[in-house]
Amino acid sequence: MARPSGSAPANKLIDMSRRALTLLLAGFLVLALGVVGAFRPVPYVVLSPGPTENTIGEVDKKPVISIKGRETFPTDGALSLVTVAYQGGPAARIDLLTALRGWLDPSVAVVPEETIFAPDRDPKEVEEENTVEMTNSQDSATAAALTELKISYDMVVTVVSTEKGKPAEGKLQKGDVIAAVDGKPAKDVNAVSDAVKAHKPGQSVRFNVTRGKEKFDVTLDTVAGPKGQPLVGVLMQAQYKFPFDVDINVGDVGGPSAGLMFSLGILDKLTPGALTGGKQIAGTGTIQPTGEVGPIGGIAQKMVGAVKSGATIFLTPADNCAEAMKAVPDGLRLVRADTLHDAVQSIDALRTGKGNVPACEAG
């Protein structure tokens, strides 16, 4: 039987239309999946330059550093602390699109969530720890400045809280004073922490504790923390008795990395003449009461923040120098800071044009 004239072309048109529709639907589906996927939460954190505050300046019309009970002197220039802001975390995860934008921006870093938030830690515990670390940092900064100026003070290490399910729970209490660990005096919070870390997980640590008028020993078996380090699950704070009042006001900035700049700001206010000579100086680093400067995280983002604030000189912990050299922005001079005393000498040399100013090396 002969086919009706024109049926073949009509079938071809129908087939082409079906293919076009299929491709269109497939393309739409891919696009829809891509859009949905772009806004799906991902376990990453975006680190970017955070606020910068001049420690010898003001925040909300209030001095960052206020000193009462001791003569203070006028300052000039800037001794700025730098911070890192972050987006993300278990309680407020970023989407894939935000992470992709971060990967394309050289001024920010995108890191796995667990590098900032330990998987087995409650975010509220982390927040409390950051708050205590900032308080410890401020007190250590005051202690370091007074040590540099040879002004005496008293200090004890106290328990802030214990972590649920860890060995210290029920054995140590808020307000307990830790006088010694394994017979060695608790000179500061880090000394206690280091004494615990000197053990292997499962080994015992002996704490000499004062609770009110009672003195006794507490023996705790260490357990492995998130990175395998031994811990007993106690959050500590140094309580100082200074001969005058030092109050530091920086709002909701947390963590210990501003210690060096706090110390310099305190020291500048307690000594005649402007330490900076009017220069715009920024920097970072933890500080020990004895003046040692320790490393910090987010050095690349902090340097960007320093430049944005107008700083031309950046005080850098020695252990961060190699990393900083790889990402130093144009116009920023890196000065290595091993101790508070070294930092003061470097600033003196920069102000006067005399003396040695140690530079960071690539390593």
Active site residue 80: no
Coil, strand, or helix at residue 309? coil
Coil/strand/helix, residue 118: coil
Which two tokens mark 350? 């920069």
Active site residue 302: yes
- Strand pairing class (62-63; 177-181): unpaired
Residues forming beta bridges with residue 240, ordered by sequence position: 155
Look at residue 324 and give its three-state secondary structure: helix
Contact predicate 124/164, CB 8 Å:
no
Using alpha carbons, select from 344, 188, 337 the residue that is nearest to residue 270: 344
- Which residue, among 71, 102, 61, has the nearest Cα to 84 in the 3D structure? 102
The two beta strands, 78-88 and 280-283, are parallel
Q: Which of 161, 257, 263, 309 is catalytic?
A: 257
Residue 33: Cβ within 10 Å count = 10
How far CA 209 is from CA of 137, 181, 185, 334, in Å, comes to: 23, 9, 11, 44
Phi-psi region of 85 (alpha: psi -120 to 50; beta: other; left: phi over 0): beta
Instruction: Please list the alpha-helical segments (H only) found in 175-329.
Output: 189-197, 259-270, 299-308, 321-327
Whether the CB-CB separation of 237 and 190 falls below 8 Å is answered with no
3-state secondary structure of 330: coil
The closest alpha carbon to 43, from 101, 85, 84, 92, belongs to 92
Choice among 80, 302, 309, 346 that is catalytic: 302
Give catalytic residue positions: 257, 302
